[in-house]
C-alpha cells in the first residue's frame, strides 16, 4: 500500500509574488536549500528576491504527487515563463535528498542556458494569451486547499508590504486595460460576499490613504510657501 504523506509545494518570490519553482517531496524536502539540492538558477533567484514556501497539496501518494507536480509545472510555466527555474517538466520522483554529479549538474545548467529566443517568445505569448479554462484550473487548485494550508498562506502575507517598484509595475500593467463584463461581474460578486468586518477594514484603509495624501499635500504647500524651514 502506497504511503500518503507526500506533498506538492511552491517556492514564491518574496519581492513580487511570482512562482519560480514547483516541487514534490516528503518530510523536509520543501525546506531544503543546499547547493546540492537546488540548481544555480534557484539560488540566484532566492539571492535576488527571497522566497516563501506554500504547500498546495498534502497527504498524497507518491504517484499522485508526481502527477500534480507535472500538472502545476505545465500551468505555471505558461504563467511565469522562464522565471520558473525547474530544469525538467517534473514527475521524476525520488529526488528528495538526491545529489547530482558535477557532470549532470553541468548538463542541466547548459540546457537551461541554451533555451532559444524562440522558446522564450512562445512562453511570453502563452502567458499573455491565457484562456478562461486555464484560470478555471487554477481556481480548482485553490478550492482544494485545506483550511490549514490557507491559514499558512494568510499568515505568510500578514504585515507584508509591496515595494513602490512592485506597485508601479502593477499599475503600469493595468493602464489602458479594459475589464470584460465577466470580470466586472466577478468583482461585484466578490464584493457582495465580503463580510461587514472586511468592508469596514477596507474603508478604514482607504480613509487612511486619503489622509496621508492630504497631509503630504499640505506639507508640500507649506514648504513651498516658506512656512516651514528646511
- What domain range includes position 209? 202-230
Residues 20 and 95 placed together within one structural domain of the fold: yes
Q: Which of 94, 77, 78 is nearest to 86 (CA)?
A: 77
Number of domains observed in the structure of the chain = 2
- Each of the 230 residues of the chain gets a pLDDT tens digit; together they read 567 899 999 999 999 888 999 999 999 999 998 888 899 999 999 999 999 999 999 999 999 999 999 989 888 888 767 788 988 887 665 444 445 456 555 655 665 555 555 566 666 666 666 665 666 666 667 666 677 777 777 766 666 667 777 777 777 666 666 777 777 777 777 767 667 777 777 777 777 777 777 777 777 777 777 655 54
User: Which cell numbers in the block locate residue 106?
Assistant: 553541468
Residues 55 and 139 placed together within one structural domain of the fold: yes
Residue 205 confidence (pLDDT): 77
The bridge status of strand 51-60 relative to strand 19-25 is unpaired
Residue 119 confidence (pLDDT): 61
Residues 129 and 208 placed together within one structural domain of the fold: no
Could you say which of 120, 145, 170 is where a domain stops? Answer: 145
What is the DSSP secondary-structure string of 21-88? EEEEESTTGGG---TTTS-HHHHHHHHHH-EEEEEEEEEE-HHHHHHHHHHHHHHHHHHHGGG---SS
Residues 116 and 208 placed together within one structural domain of the fold: no
Residues 33 and 115 placed together within one structural domain of the fold: yes
Residue 203 confidence (pLDDT): 74
Residue 120 confidence (pLDDT): 63
> Which residue has cell 508526481?
66
pTM of whole model > 0.75?
no
Domain with residue 46: its CATH number is 3.40.1440.10
135 inside domain: yes
215 inside domain: yes
Could you say which of 130, 145, 160 is where a domain stops? Answer: 145
181 inside domain: no
Residues 99 and 21 placed together within one structural domain of the fold: yes
Amino acid at each position: 500500500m502506497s504511503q500518503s504523506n507526500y506533498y506538492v509545494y511552491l517556492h514564491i518570490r518574496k519581492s513580487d509574488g511570482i512562482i519560480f519553482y514547483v516541487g514534490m517531496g516528503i518530510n523536509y524536502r520543501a525546506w531544503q536549500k543546499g547547493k546540492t539540492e537546488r540548481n544555480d538558477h534557484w539560488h540566484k533567484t532566492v539571492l535576488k528576491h527571497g522566497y516563501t514556501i506554500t504547500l498546495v497539496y498534502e497527504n498524497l501518494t507518491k504517484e499522485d504527487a508526481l502527477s500534480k507536480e507535472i500538472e502545476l509545472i505545465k500551468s505555471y510555466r505558461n504563467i511565469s515563463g522562464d522565471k520558473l527555474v525547474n530544469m525538467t517538466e517534473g514527475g521524476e520522483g525520488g529526488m528528495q535528498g538526491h545529489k547530482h554529479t558535477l557532470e549532470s549538474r553541468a548538463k542541466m545548467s547548459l540546457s537551461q542556458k541554451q533555451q532559444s529566443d524562440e522558446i522564450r517568445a512562445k512562453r511570453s505569448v502563452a502567458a499573455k494569451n491565457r484562456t478562461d479554462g486555464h484560470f478555471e484550473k487554477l481556481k480548482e487548485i485553490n478550492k482544494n486547499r485545506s483550511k490549514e494550508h490557507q491559514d499558512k498562506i494568510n499568515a505568510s502575507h500578514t504585515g507584508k508590504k509591496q515595494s513602490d517598484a512592485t506597485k508601479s509595475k502593477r499599475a503600469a500593467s493595468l493602464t489602458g486595460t479594459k475589464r470584460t463584463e465577466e470580470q466586472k461581474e466577478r468583482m461585484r460578486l466578490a464584493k457582495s460576499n465580503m463580510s461587514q468586518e472586511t468592508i469596514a477594514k477596507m474603508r478604514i484603509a482607504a480613509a487612511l490613504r486619503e489622509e496621508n495624501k492630504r497631509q503630504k499635500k499640505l506639507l508640500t504647500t507649506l514648504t513651498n510657501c516658506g512656512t516651514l524651514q528646511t
